[in-house]
Structure 1
Amino acid sequence: MELPEPGTVAWRLAVAYGAEGGFDALWSAFLEAVDPATVRGLLLGPWWIQDYTPVSEALTRIVADADRFPALEGLVIGDVSFEDCEISWLEMSDVTPALAAFPRLTDLVVRGGNGLRLEPFRHERLTHLRIETGGLPAEVVRGVAASELPALENLELWFGVDEYGGDATIDDIAPLLTGTRLPALRHLGLQNSEFQDEIAAAVAHAPVVAQLSTLSLSMGVLSDEGAAALLDGQPLTHLKRLDLHHHYLTEAMQERVREALPGVDVDLSDAEEEDEDEWRYVEVSE
């Protein structure tokens, strides 16, 4: 087939199940078929042949050829649906080298938390960072919180559950809530958490909120307790949007939220109910 101009599309690389040569062969074929000099977006799909293997080898190959991609702005590590691998089964690794290798990168999405590492870093151009997991390691949260990101406008973290390695606490998040290292931040998503009420209570008094346009505390187990703490804190009427979808709020509390924020686009969809054992579930775990 005739391929499009390299800089006009994002290129998704996916190893076919059982393919000979694995990612090395795929990467070599890609570089032969496409001039990488103007490629602006790369999406790394399944990188294994049969058994799930860490993403480290594929990332090492990509990073080794970073100088051939001077225009790269967007990188997705783990563009994998549940049909190929559940999010918490993905075998990840240290993704910090990718940030160092691509100084022009503006958008980074990482999907998968098993074995994920991220060291504190400084990046001058990164504007969007999203880490999607069913269990986010605390050291990754601390790595993000300790990083210098002067251009970052959009930060989204999916915390997941302890069963899949989500061991972060509210103390790990605290440095993010000051906004000190995130002067350009306009959207903050602290989502998919088993301690969503604690997050809401901390956000209610967090200095970073004043600079935000949108806030997401969605996908977790937010209850009336957390929503009340959020409303009893600093004003949120400056927000354009507040995303609370997938929550455990009563109808009365939902109405209270709407009445308190009449000019804010509030997403209260996907209201959940506790099961008979009073269990609450985050939206994404396994």
Structure 2
Amino acid sequence: MTIHEHLSEYAGLRVATFGPEDKPPADAFTSPSSYAWAVRTEFDEEPFEEVWARFREQVDTSAITALIIGFWGAPYGDSDTDVGALLAEAAPSFPALRSLFIGDIIMEESEISWIQPGDVTPVLKAFPGLERFEVRGSEEVVLEPVEHHGLRTLRFESGGLPAGVARSVGASDLPNLEHLDLWLGTGDYGGDTSPDDLAALLSGERLPALRHLGLQDSEIEDQVAAAVAGAAVVAQLETLALGMGVLTDVGAESLLSGQPLTHLKRLDLSHHFLSDAMMERVRTSLDGVEVDLDDQNTPSNGEWFFVEISE
């Protein structure tokens, strides 16, 4: 599966798009806090930096609470846009910003594996009041360990997440983080995260408020499931997501043989490779837990397993 649609709603707000050809609703200019603003350019159109400058000139950014950064140029072209630096420099103009999504880019604009957000650490440092931070992109995404007391939600959507990002999340001080999603992806697209790289975050030591954990879209989902089965952080969770990847009966057996999961409200294993018998075992063993076992798959040609989103 690939991503074909831009966000139409974000952080509970309708999206108003600002771009070379886009005309936001008139009331968006008079009441900018009523919309989540998406700023993007198009292929072979106005450079993103110029669109960004016009946006800041024409819109009262001091009232904006939710911001989306869309297509900023093809990585194989002339674009050398440093999105993190642009946002960090503009931080004083966005005092009310609470939700930020970098990389609302669909397949027709760029494959997820081609999206290069760069170093997003300066963004978190520049926006201490940010509560929701989401990034889409693969090999070129960078995060260094940070201390951030505002974040409630942190998500990385990737067809191949670098191990350094997972290690940095585990090494960061995020005392109020409640929701964490990492799409780990495949080695073919830079996803080199191993269970060892997840050890610090799975300990939960720096994530006392965490209630949802998603470690998804992984070609080593069985190994991830085995690590989660004995992870201390699981006891504090309400929801756990291990879907979108190559979860087989081996990984499901690890989950069922590990620590109890009956305290969970929801377990999301959608897009998996479980047998019918194992699906029934999971349902029976976790009676009272909402278990999502949608999208059962079989290996292509009997031997090729695949994650949900990679390219």
Q: Identify whether the pair has TM-score above 0.5, normalized to the shorter chain.
A: yes
Secondary structure at the aligned position of 2:26 is classed as coil
| Amino acid of the structure 2 residue aligned with 1:6 | P
1:207 Cα offset (Å): 0.8
1:17 maps to which residue?
43
In the alignment, is the contact (CA less than 8 A) between 2:147 and 2:174 conserved in 1? Answer: yes
Q: Tell me if 1:48 matches 2:73.
A: yes
Distance 1:281 1:78 in 2: 23
Residue 237 of structure 2 corresponds to residue 178 of structure 1: no
Please tell me whether residue 198 in structure 1 is matched to residue 198 in structure 2: no
Q: TM-score, normalised by structure 1?
A: 0.96
Q: 1:250 aligns with which of 275, 283, 288?
A: 275
Q: From the superposition, tell whether residues 49 and 75 of structure 1 become closer, same or farther in structure 2 (CA, over 3 Å).
A: same
Paired residues for 1:124-203 under 5 Å: 124-203=149-228
Matched, 1:208 2:233: yes
Aligned residue for 1:222, secondary structure, equals coil
Contact 2:245 2:272 in 1 (8 A): yes
AA of the residue aligned to 1:19: E
Q: 1:16 to 1:175 in 2, by over 3 A?
A: same
Match of 2:117 in 1: 92
Give the Cα separation in 1 of the matches to 2:92 and 2:248.
48
Task: Give 1:79 deviation, angstroms.
Answer: 0.6
Residue identity opposite 2:26 in structure 1: E
What is the aligned partner in structure 2 of residue 8 from structure 1?
34
- Partner in structure 2 of residue 260 of structure 1: 285
The number of aligned residues is: 285
Question: Which 10-residue stretch deviates more, 251-260 or 198-207?
Answer: 198-207
- Measured against aligned partners, the alpha-carbon deviations of 1:88-126 in whole angstroms (never above 9, x if no partner) come to 011221000000010110001100012111000010010
Provide TM-score, normalisation by structure 2: 0.89
Q: Which 5+ residue runs of structure 1 have no aligned equivalent?
A: none
In 2, Cα distance between the equivalents of 1:139 and 1:53?
27
Letter in 1 for 2:162: P
Shift of 1:277: 4.7
Cα distance in 1, alignment partners of residues 56 and 201 from structure 2: 39
Q: CA deviation at 1:241?
A: 0.4
Q: How far, CA to CA, are the matches of 2:194 and 2:80 in structure 1? A: 26
Deviation at 1:275, TM superposition (A): 2.4
Cα distance in 1 for partners of 2:118, 2:288 equals 43
Unaligned stretches of 5+ residues in structure 2: 1-24
TM-aligned CA distance change 1:52 to 1:213, over 3 Å: farther
- The 3 A distance-change label for structure 1 pair 186 and 57 is same
- Matched AA of 1:251: D
Task: Note the C-alpha offset of 1:65.
Answer: 1.4
Native 8 Å contact 1:11 1:43 kept in 2: yes
